[in-house]
Amino acid sequence: MVSKIIIMVLAMISLVFADTKSEVERLFQTASSGEIRFTKLVQPAKDSLAAMKDSAAKYLVSKLCTTDAREAQTLTEVYRGIGKAATAYLIAALDTDNKYQLRSASRCLAEVKDSTAVDALLKAATNSDYTVRAEALAAVGKSGGGATTAKRLEPFFNDSIYSVRKSCVYGLGNLKSLASLDLLLRALADSHFGVRLTAYDALVSFDSLAREKVAALLDTVTVAPVTGLAIRLAGQLRIHKVETKIASYLTDSNPLLRGWAVWSWGRLRGRAAAARLDELQKRESDLFVKSLLIDTRAYIDTLTSHE
């Protein structure tokens, strides 16, 4: 009698699991559908999967090896909604040689933002496939852990592939460790513009914490592209102590430096910069600089009298 009851209970449990798996499959097909007739059902299906939490997380892992871009994006959105309840399943999914699964799992973990995944992601970041390394490093940066994680992320800036270095710099910008500022400043001189611009954005995100370092860079830098970025940073971060230095670039022979000096001069001096900019505009011939003079003058005109 007891054995029959046990068999019946196990059968019922199996049916529940089967029903749950089937429901997850049905919802995922709808959520990742590109058919017009399902347009209004896509978001509700994603929301339903996210609300299922653990139940959806464990079954959707089997979809991570997809090569379909729409399905991969759907997984990212659903796991974002599931949150940290999915971490253990996604970490387990990183134990594979399948590059598609590694990339998808990393992107999902980037949205989950759980620092307990950092170790597994850093291991994935040593993969021979550079696209996997890039996704894993970006996820590390979004997973948290502060200065400790940032220190472990920094060595990856030596990678030969620019997209991997870019992900490393992006991650450091998210983690906000003051110890990473020197590397971010060095990244402004990277051979690839994507890395340089990502480093710029990262430094901007540090706000006032990066002012001293950027000011010091302006005194030492000699390479024009890096100088241009440093000049622009001075204006964006409102580093007033370098106003004299910025003023010296307003008449520089290099239009790149002259243009960004104009842009920063307007940010640093506000309405007080108007007269000097109007004077410069009368004799400027370079189209890049002229465009920045017009834009900066328009910016100044939007400021209130006390700015």
pLDDT of residue 58: 92
Within-domain flag for 212: yes
- The candidate with the shortest Cα–Cα distance to 42, out of 69, 16, 9, 70, is 70
If one counts every other C-beta atom within 10 angstroms of the C-beta of residue 20, the result is 15
Rounded to whole angstroms, the Cα distance separating 81 from 113 reads 11
Query: Is there a single domain that holds both residue 109 and residue 165?
Result: no
Q: How many domains does the chain have?
A: 3
Burial class of residue 279 in the structure, from the number of CB atoms within 10 Å of its CB (0-12 exposed, 13-18 middle, 19+ buried): exposed
Asked which of 166, 193, 216 is the last residue of a domain, the reply is 216
Q: Which domain holds residue 199?
A: 145-216
| Residue 178 falls inside a structural domain | yes
Q: Specify whether the CB–CB gap between 220 and 185 falls below 8 A.
A: no
Coil, helix or strand for 56?
Answer: helix
Model pLDDT for residues 45-65, shown as the tens digit of each residue: 899 899 999 989 999 999 999
Domain boundary among 127, 159, 185: 127
Q: What is the pLDDT of residue 16?
A: 39
Per-residue pLDDT at 1: 52
In terms of domains, do 94 and 38 share one? yes
- The enclosing domain of 171 has a CATH number of 1.25.10.10
The stretches in the chain having pLDDT less than 70 are 1-18, 38, 304-307
On whether residue 9 sits in a domain, the answer given is no
Q: Examine residue 5 and state whether it is found in any structural domain, yes or no.
A: no
What residues contact residue 12 under an 8 Å CB cut-off, 6+ apart? none
pLDDT recorded at residue 7: 39
Q: Dump the DSSP string for 166-227.
A: HHHHHHHHHHT-GGGHHHHHHHTT-SSHHHHHHHHHHHHHHGGGGHHHHHHHHHH---HHHH
Residues 200 and 235 in one domain: no
Looking at the structure, tell me whether residues 245 and 176 fall in a common domain: no
Pair 246, 231: CB distance under 8 Å? yes
Residues 49 and 108 in one domain: yes
Residue 43, pLDDT score: 87
